[in-house]
Amino acid sequence: MKLLQVLSRMILRLFGWTLLDVAQRPAKSVVIAYPHTSNWDFPLMLLAVAGLPFQAQWVAKDTMFRWPFAGFLRLLGGVAVNRRERTGFVDLIVREFDARNEFHLMIATEGTRSRQEGWKSGFYRMAAAANVPLLLSVVDYSRRELGLLAIIHLSGDETADMARIAEVYAGRKGHRHENASPIRLI
């Protein structure tokens, strides 16, 4: 594992990226991946997770988990979610948080790489129901920084919590920054 961490850090440094980390990571968290505006975010995120090192699973649409990539994506921590119908995914994840001593689940809050009217609320509902903090992550192309920015403990006041999240992400830009969705729940 140490070799993978060193190799990941070397690759990031070679391409001019700075790896960010919070002072003390919680044992459990819902990790927000924002902004998510490009396919390049995925390999950069994998390098950041390996470079920190940080054991996190991540959510992606189930259509990505087809042969021949399904096994490899699961090995990398991928969790398939069917976005076309209600499957009780939030409740399933809350039970995972309850059953584990350590668990981090990374979610692209926008649900896609294109601009939306705001963020899907599943991340918020998961964190609130499991009573775990949000861990804010970023791939900031303007500053060439990626990694973990801040820990947010939810207050239960969605408006205030989203305002705090927006403060942390202020000035952070994705690869196609015009595709970044506004930081508000829809």
pLDDT band at 44 (very low <50, low <70, confident <90, very high): very high
- 81-137 pLDDT per residue, tens: 776 677 788 898 898 899 989 999 999 887 666 677 888 888 999 999 999 999 999
Q: What is the pTM of this model?
A: 0.88
- Distance separating the N- and C-terminal Cα atoms of the chain: 39
Pull the structure tokens for residue 158. 């969605």
The domain spans of the chain are 2-179
Q: Which CATH class is domain 2-179?
A: alpha beta
106, β-bridge pairs: 31, 58
Integer Cα distance of 105 and 134 in angstroms: 10
pLDDT of residue 79: 79
